[in-house]
Amino acid sequence: MAFDDSAWAQIAVPGHWRSHRDFAASDGPMLYRTNFDYPTPAHGERVWVVFDGIFYQADVWLDGAYLGDPEGYFSPHSFDITALARLEESHALAVELNCAPQGDRRNKRLITGAFQHDSAIDPSWNPGGIWQPVRVETTGPVRIEKLRVLCRDANVDRADLQFVAQLDCDANQTVRIRTTVGGYTDREREQPLARGSNEVSWTLGVNNPTLWWPWSLGEAGLTNITVEVAVEHAISDRVERRIGFRTVSLNDWVFSVNGERLFVKGVNYGPTTRAPGEVDAAVIRRDLEIAKDTGFDLVRVHSHIASPALYDAADELGLMIWQDFPLHRGYSRHIGDQASSQVREAVDLLAHHPSIIAWCGHNEPFRGSQRDGEHGEAQTVAEHFEIKTALGQQLPSWNRTLLDRRVKRAFEQADDTRPVIAHSGVLPHLPQLNGTDTHLYLGWHTNTDRELPGLAASLPRLVRFVGEFGAQSVPDSADFIDASMWPNLDWDQLEAHFGLDRAAMEHHVPPRRFDTFDEWRLATQAYQSTLLRFHIETLRRLKYSPTGGFCVSQLTDPQPAISWGLLDSSRVPKLALNAVAEAVRPLIIVADRLPDAVQPGLAMALDIHVVSDLRVPLADAQVDVALRWKGGAHEWHYAGDIHADSVSRVGTVRFVVPAVYGRLELDLSLTSPDGAATNRYSTTIAPAV
């Protein structure tokens, strides 16, 4: 405490050292110090210093005494400082932080996921810092260090909860544990404890529970619970949680909640910002409200564990969460033990949130290249899957075969109430041809996205659940680009620091074809919009046969970038947001996709389908189809019932392309007493080239 740190820079906590101008280029390690006063604890009291989030490793001292070396960015770390607190009331807390850059992205050593490996985050960025609050708290002789709450079963009559608590006790003694659920207090139970850390578990049945439902199926009912530990009739510690009563299952990539199956319409959500310690909870909630308003019912928290505010908001909004563990691409063989430990921390931290319907252990467990976006020339779909399957996934590997198996087992041991997906983006491979969800960047990493229907027909396993698809676009908020240099932008900088997949962009929306930057930017957004619309319509038409759902890439950009976001980092919507909102509406009418251009005299046949996610049938539905061109039109009319939660083939419209050059438009309309939908497709009638 006598150390003079008056000349040291003042830094915000929570926060990140890179946000301070003196350390804007530093990769650490960084030494933090703070002085504080705390009253001497009374007899029977214990004092703790608690770090809610350290990015990523630390060594901690209090008054010169070494407390420990916590690792892991998302889980709380606590230290008993009772003995030191009894010596004096003035204290000095020192923390040496380390968040080493991932020099070899194929063999990473830190479990930081997207924060240190994501195409939309500048790879030179370092997220190091104390990114969540630090506090000093007082308890009695026993502290509830961790509390895991699992809903094992739930229906309208009864729900069963399982509690797993880590209790730290200062001496051998018997305590009383009291559990209160929604105002109802279960009978107290006596529990003998040994000195030190004790794991205690118990179950509790709740009659007539209020169920939690995704917003598309019902109300998101939530219930408060409290667990108290009493020593000699005095409350020693108390923890509160908010839970939801519900069950989830995954059968052949179709999710069910409370026994109700649903086709999942999801969106990937990367880090809200690359500096999570500086994000406001209101920003996170607004992002999720936009996701819900767009029509998504699931958010995939992509390759990271987010701020607590995200999970609270999802619970309240009735949004389902696919929760990735923060493993992305290739890792060193040294992280196995740490990964298993952090899996248990993740379950302890998040398992009470009803919004989380699945755990996923590892995103794209492939070593890949040193740089994101290094894909070379665009390929045909056949070339793309031949390369990825034959070379990347046929042989056993440390990441996919060993690490991911261990991570999956750790999740299943800690939480047997949710589906656990070993890894995301793994194609079917030998010996059993069992893959997971698929990442189908058709039309971005391949020549065209038009091959999706044919691919689905020939290889239906590839579309059971599509966890990522999309295209990059240039945002409206583009101050990071010097547009005055058009067309000679600093392409190397945009590729190195702002996410641009240069090879793919050159292939699909080549800048050289546009006279101005704004024309090119608009074209990139239009291309992204069209690609996402037709992917979604195709996958929805395959509802349950075989597709169980999808996740668009992705909702927002974490920093200024040329990226996959439907909204840029300033939350300005791109064109694709509205197109996606139309494509994910509960009731849509769709046709086979028209070619980009057609020739006069071409005979065509287009199937018309109605896709309904409504939980009630539509009786006496009327479908009207109109084909229009300059100076003429054809019309078709159909009538019938539309079943609930279904795909209905309405019919096939057949026609010969008229000998009139110009626009050809196909208008679809569905009307019924209980719902309506419209859609439009267009192409150009042009002579053969």
Terminal C-alpha separation, the chain: 82
Give, in words, the CATH class of 591-685.
mainly beta
Q: Does domain 142-243 have CATH number 2.60.40.10?
A: yes
pLDDT tens for 634-679 read: 999 999 999 999 999 999 999 999 999 999 999 999 999 999 999 9
- pLDDT number for residue 373: 41
Alpha helix (H) ranges present in 428-470? Answer: 452-458
| Closest to 392 (Cα-Cα) out of 413, 369, 418, 376 | 369
- pLDDT number for residue 657: 96
pLDDT tens for 343-375 read: 999 999 999 999 999 999 999 998 765 444 444
- pLDDT number for residue 5: 83
Q: Which CATH number fits domain 264-584: 3.40.50.300, 3.20.20.80, 3.30.930.10, 3.90.78.10?
A: 3.20.20.80
pLDDT tens for 402-431 read: 999 999 999 999 999 999 999 999 887 655
- pLDDT number for residue 389: 55
Judged by average pLDDT, the poorest of 191-195, 316-320, 390-394 is 390-394
- Which band of pLDDT confidence, cut at 50, 70 and 90, is reported for residue 186? confident
Helix axes 336-350, 404-414, angle to 10 degrees: 30
Please determine, for residue 145, whether its predicted confidence score (pLDDT) is greater than 70.
yes
Query: In degrees rounded to 5, what are phi and psi of residue 588?
Result: -135, 155
Q: Do domains 264-584 and 591-685 have the same CATH topology?
A: no
- Which band of pLDDT confidence, cut at 50, 70 and 90, is reported for residue 187? confident
Q: What is the DSSP letter of 277?
A: G
Is residue 628 within 8 A of residue 681, CB to CB? The reply is no
Separation CA 210–CA 14 (nearest Å): 36
- Which band of pLDDT confidence, cut at 50, 70 and 90, is reported for residue 286? very high
Fold category of 17-137 in CATH: Jelly Rolls (2.60.120)
What is the average per-residue pLDDT within 61-86? Answer: 97
Please determine, for residue 282, whether its predicted confidence score (pLDDT) is greater than 90.
yes
**Residue 486, Ramachandran bin (φ over 0: left; ψ between -120 and 50: alpha; else beta):** beta
Judged by average pLDDT, the poorest of 7-11, 243-247, 435-439, 463-467 is 435-439
Spatial CB neighbours of 7, under 8 Å, sequence gap ≥ 6:
none
- pLDDT number for residue 372: 46
CA 640 centroid distance within chain: 39
Helix axes 575-583, 281-294, angle to 10 degrees: 50
What is the average per-residue pLDDT within 587-600? Answer: 96
Please determine, for residue 447, whether its predicted confidence score (pLDDT) is greater than 60.
yes
Please determine, for residue 166, whether its predicted confidence score (pLDDT) is greater than 70.
yes
Q: Order of strands, edge to edge, in the sheet holding 465-468?
A: 420-421, 356-360, 320-324, 298-301, 264-269, 549-552, 465-468, 438-439
Domain range annotation of the chain: 17-137, 142-243, 264-584, 591-685
Q: State the burial class of residue 85 (Cβ atoms within 10 Å of its Cβ: 0-12, 13-18, 19+).
A: buried
- Which band of pLDDT confidence, cut at 50, 70 and 90, is reported for residue 233? confident
- Which band of pLDDT confidence, cut at 50, 70 and 90, is reported for residue 434? low
Strands 129-130 and 54-55: antiparallel
What is the average per-residue pLDDT within 138-146? Answer: 98
Q: What is the mean pLDDT of the chain?
A: 94
In this predicted model, which residue has the larger pLDDT, 5 or 480?
480
Please determine, for residue 559, whether its predicted confidence score (pLDDT) is greater than 90.
yes
Other beta carbons within 10 angstroms of residue 479's beta carbon come to 9
